[in-house]
Structure 1
Amino acid sequence: MAATPLHPQTYLPDAEVGPLHDALAVPAAGSDQQYLVTGTGEQVPVPLETLRALRQVIEAMHQGLAVTVVPQSKTLTTQQAADLLGVSRPTVIKLLEDGEMPFERAGNRRRILLHDVLAYRERRRTQQYAALEALATAEEDDPEVVLDQLRTARRAVAARRRATTTS
């Protein structure tokens, strides 16, 4: 089999993905281990991370979505990390300097392990969800109370503006 070129590639959904979707949805013999069968009948175990990727791709295609596969190096530049996190490059540099993610220097360039960027993203998401949950459970969650607080705050800001412009 020829090697597949390593560049971003988009795959369109295929109507024949249904049986594969069903086969990957059910773990083999009560475990999460799956096997591929070679042309000679040999069973080859599929690594867990590969299985997760296959399940995600097949699930998306089963739902009629196109899938883009973008090969990534295990080490990223600050720009690649920024793109992955959805933030600016200076923000990533600040995170590195603040010790939020470990990195190595190669000359005057910073290199970040993909694993560390993904771990930071997961920590950040967990913190964001916790903050949202805390807001949702606060007593000020009543829309009328929040609206009254906003009105009061706006009036206070307007009064301060008037006081500084007339002085």
Structure 2
Amino acid sequence: MTTFEAIPISQISKGSAYITTGDGKAYPLDAEELRRAFAAIVHDNSAEMITTGEAAQILGVSAKTVARMLDAGEIPFVRYGAKGNRMVSRAQVVAYRDKSESHGHEALETMREAASQGGLDDINYSAYLARYS
């Protein structure tokens, strides 16, 4: 296994391959390490990266809402490209959605139990709905 040593990003020569972290450190890659990194990215479907717009569609919210979620640290992200566009893991977005839905179902069940204990579930729904038919 190769041991990577970080250096300041300012010391990377133009045209060199490297991986960088948010703290300004860079990890230079030789040709073989770069090839393996590309292979891992291309072949690892579990780490499929998607745009914030695609995440918004999965979550059923706006891209602006996804941006707020990312800023709040609710979903991890990375920045890609010259513009620094944010990308997120599809698997993490789906997991976030499933967790949110689960919390919603739990909250609804808690409200149903409270209504039942408070005697608020004695409504004749047939008669209630008949008023609107």
TM-score, normalising length: structure 2: 0.50
Offset of residue 144 of structure 1: 6.9
Cα pair distance change 1:140/1:96, threshold 3 Å: farther
Spell out structure 1 runs of 4+ moving beyond 2 A.
none
Cα pair distance change 1:131/1:111, threshold 3 Å: same
| Equivalent-residue separation in structure 2 for 1:132 and 1:79 (angstroms) | 29
Give the residue type in structure 2 aligned to 1:115. A
Give the residue type in structure 1 aligned to 2:75. M
Q: Deviations over 1:67-125 (max 9, x none)?
A: xxxxxx92110100001111011110111111111110114210000011011011101
Q: Equivalent residue for 1:16?
A: none
Give the residue type in structure 2 aligned to 1:84. I
Number of corresponding residues: 73
Q: Map 1:15-164 to 2 at 5 A.
A: 74-107=48-81, 108-138=84-114, 139-140=117-118, 142-143=120-121
Q: Map 1:5-24 to 2 at 5 A.
A: none
Higher normalized helix content (fraction of residues): 1
Offset of residue 140 of structure 1: 3.9
| Structure 1 portions without partners, runs of 5+ | 1-72, 146-167
| Structure 2 portions without partners, runs of 5+ | 1-46, 124-133
- What's the % identity of the aligned pairs? 36
Higher relative contact order (CA closer than 8 Å, sequence separation 6+): 1
Q: Equivalent residue for 2:31?
A: none
| Equivalent-residue separation in structure 2 for 1:104 and 1:74 (angstroms) | 12
RMSD in angstroms over aligned alpha carbons? 2.1
Cα pair distance change 1:141/1:101, threshold 3 Å: farther
| Equivalent-residue separation in structure 2 for 1:83 and 1:118 (angstroms) | 11
